[in-house]
Amino acid sequence: MTDITDRPALLAAIVALAEAGGDIVWRHFTAGCAVMHKSDESPVTAADRDAEAAILAGLAVVAPTIPVVAEEQAAAGDIPAVADAFFLVDPLDGTKEFVRRGDDFTVNIALVERGVPTMGVVYAPARDTLYWGDVAQDAAWTAARAPGGPRGTAQLIRVRTCGGKPCAVASKSHAMPGLDEWLDAGGVSERVAVGSSLKFALVACGEADVYPRTGPTMEWDTAAGDAVLRAAGGRTLDVDGAPFTYGKPGYRNAGFVATGGYQPAPLRPYLR
């Protein structure tokens, strides 16, 4: 068991669990697996379920007193009561990308404390890349790690200062009404398309300046990447420019703006 006050040990534990989950996802990716659909018609595979089961089993050992809200359990109606601290788990963010045989899918684990994602790990097995961070340590890292292999040397990451034309990172698979107008008004001319929680990671690494999202998401989609971004010196704001919080009813997100050194205008005037 890992005490939540021993933050380096807890972070190391959830990084290892994300790696284990990513290895499971990768085995299914290379072997191929059947695609099913949930009640909302979103796809789900054995990779989602097997990776989630492994992560939940690991969290029960390393942090048994902290509740876990996980995507597939939530879809089945199993949502625990949470207190000041809880985990959010998305065992396979970007299932559509996974099914299409793309590489923009990730495994995500986050710790939320008093509504703030304070610790998180994002593993992209098809990209051989791992990101993790802890807001309390004011530090975030990335490392290379091929599925089933050793982790490479950790490198500190930090958001960049936006001194020129800002670069936005956007979703590959979601049209967002009002977004073009917001980007044009903010002078954002360069855009990079990428899927899943990797959008947060690109801002955290200083490869992009801002990630706006006008449409709905779930908290387990965003919390891990958001935690890494905040640990790297970034912020995530709601559509009115206030701090973006977690533990909302149904764990549903409205629009948000994740940013590094770029100072964004509120999104709300552009929503329709």
Q: Binding site annotation covers 94?
A: yes
Determine the Cα–Cα distance for residues 227 and 195; give it in Å rounded to an integer.
17
Q: Binding site annotation covers 118?
A: no
Determine the Cα–Cα distance for residues 229 and 1; give it in Å rounded to an integer.
27
Tokens encoding 29: 């990716």
Q: Binding site annotation covers 6?
A: no
Q: Binding site annotation covers 90?
A: yes
Q: Report CA Rg, the chain.
A: 17
Q: Binding site annotation covers 95?
A: yes
Determine the Cα–Cα distance for residues 225 and 208; give it in Å rounded to an integer.
14
Q: Binding site annotation covers 65?
A: no
Q: Please give the helix or strand (H or E) that residue 25 lies within, else none.
A: helix 7-31
Q: Binding site annotation covers 111?
A: no
Separation in Å, CA 26 to CA 18, 62, 106, 182, 224? 12, 24, 10, 37, 19
- Burial of 254 by CB count in 10 Å (0-12 exposed, 13-18 middle, 19+ buried)? middle
Would you list which residues are annotated within the binding site for Mg(2+)? 71, 90, 92-93, 221
Query: Which positions make up the binding site?
Result: 71, 90, 92-95, 221
What residues form the annotated binding site for substrate? 71, 92-95, 221
